[in-house]
Structure 1
Amino acid sequence: MQPNPPQPNPPQPGFPQHGQPTASGPAPWGDPKPPKPRANAAAAMIAGVLALLAAAMLVWFALYNVIVATEADGRPSGITVQNMASGTISAVVLVIAAAFTFARRIPGVWTLFGLCVFYVVAVFVGTPLVWGTSFGAQVKWLFSFDDGDSTAMALTIILAVLTAIAAATAGSVKSYGGKN
């Protein structure tokens, strides 16, 4: 009878033996952390482009108020200054959120969604409450397309609604893949 050849030591509970991957953890040759979820690439790209278009409309709104909506003595009125500042600040914030959306960052996508919803609510609800105009008069001015500022704001609202839909889609449909 021949003796049995020596057998390797069976794996022991606790630490894995050198060169053997664990069953529960990542392989020693792989990435030590699982990839973070990212926003859907196509929807994020669409949302980012729509956000940039909406930002361009806000810049148009601000420039209209700088160039056209001044009083006879050449000084802007209070509402014109407010329109210039809010249009410019809103455009800058929208571009920043669009940049994070292009990078497919989940918080950036949801921030873009929130900003777009806020802009729509602010134009339809906030502005009439602050300035004391009726909702009907606000909607009539907004969608009359009779001058540059109402056209710019109407297009901003339309683009903001579309951007919010695309951003919600990008944030809801996540991908866990690599850096594509």
Structure 2
Amino acid sequence: MQPNPPQPGFPQPGQPTPSGPPPWGQAARPKPRANTPAAVTAGVLALLAAAMLVWFALYNVVVAAEADGRPPGITVQNMASGVISAVVLVIAAAFTFARRIPGAWTLCGLCLFYVVAVFVGTPLVWGTPFGAQAKWLFSFDDGDSTAMALTIILAVLTAIAAAIAASVKSYDTND
């Protein structure tokens, strides 16, 4: 009894998988991409969150300019962290706009990290009670608390949209 002859285009069990381009006349299998509507939504929300982080940093620049002498350490930290966070968020948003699945997961993770950092990390580092931190965040009385509250809200929405974009894959061939 003879084994079945190899079929063109399909590797047989025990044979190495071809690593080069597909055989002549056959189309390459498209790579999975992030879901388009969810990726665009996550990218737009991430850009809005980045704008809120820039607003937070600029507010602290104004506070530092009005202070006599050297600005306090927390003001400098707020300026640096606001700008750095915004830049990192824009980079992750660009990869999400490009419908890259790792970019969407990175954006989701960054946004969740920002929420945890503001609610848990900052009170632990600076010794602020959790209730006082939550009251400051959602009081909307100053520009910095308003910017951070909107950042938190947008970060939660961005994380949800990015997780949807990364988990609902599409295999479009005309991209």
User: What TM-score does the superposition give when structure 2 sets the normalisation length?
Assistant: 0.87
Letter in structure 1 aligned against 2:24: P
1:132 is aligned, of 121, 127, 131, to 127
Superposed CA offset, 1:87-126 (max 9, x none): 0000000000000000000000000000000000000000
Q: Tell me the equivalent position of 2:47.
A: 52
Aligned residue-pair number: 162
Could you say what the CA RMSD is over the residues aligned between the two structures, in angstroms? 1.7
2:26 is aligned, of 30, 47, 60, to 30
Q: Tell me the equivalent position of 2:61.
A: 66
Q: Tell me the equivalent position of 2:172.
A: 177
Q: Distance in 2 between matches of 1:130 and 1:40?
A: 38
Aligned residues of 1:70 and 1:80 also touching (Cα < 8 A)? no
What are the equivalent positions in structure 2 for 1:135-174 lying under 5 Å apart? 135-174=130-169
Q: Distance in 2 between matches of 1:58 and 1:74?
A: 25
How much has 1:176 moved relative to structure 2?
1.1
Aligned residues of 2:53 and 2:85 also touching (Cα < 8 A)? yes
Q: Distance in 2 between matches of 1:96 and 1:125?
A: 25
Q: Distance in 2 between matches of 1:57 and 1:124?
A: 17
Q: Distance in 1 between matches of 2:92 and 2:30?
A: 22
| Secondary structure at 2:128 match in 1 | coil
Structure 1 residue runs of 4+, over 3 Å off? 69-72
Q: Indicate yes or no: 2:70 matched with 1:75.
A: yes
Task: Tell me the percent identity.
Answer: 80
2:93 is aligned, of 98, 105, 123, to 98
Q: Which stretches in structure 2 are left out of the alignment for 5+ residues?
A: 12-21
Whichever structure has more helix as a proportion of its residues is 2
What are the equivalent positions in structure 2 for 1:116-131 lying under 5 Å apart? 116-131=111-126
Letter in structure 1 aligned against 2:129: S
Q: Distance in 1 between matches of 2:93 and 2:135?
A: 30
CA 73–166 in structure 1, closer or farther in 2 if over 3 Å, else same = same
Q: Distance in 1 between matches of 2:39 and 2:86?
A: 18
| Secondary structure at 2:93 match in 1 | helix
Superposed CA offset, 1:50-84 (max 9, x none): 00000000000000000124563143210000000
Aligned residues of 1:112 and 1:164 also touching (Cα < 8 A)? yes
Q: Distance in 2 between matches of 1:112 and 1:159?
A: 12
Aligned residues of 2:63 and 2:75 also touching (Cα < 8 A)? no
Q: Which stretches in structure 1 are left out of the alignment for 5+ residues?
A: 1-11, 17-21
| Secondary structure at 1:68 match in 2 | helix
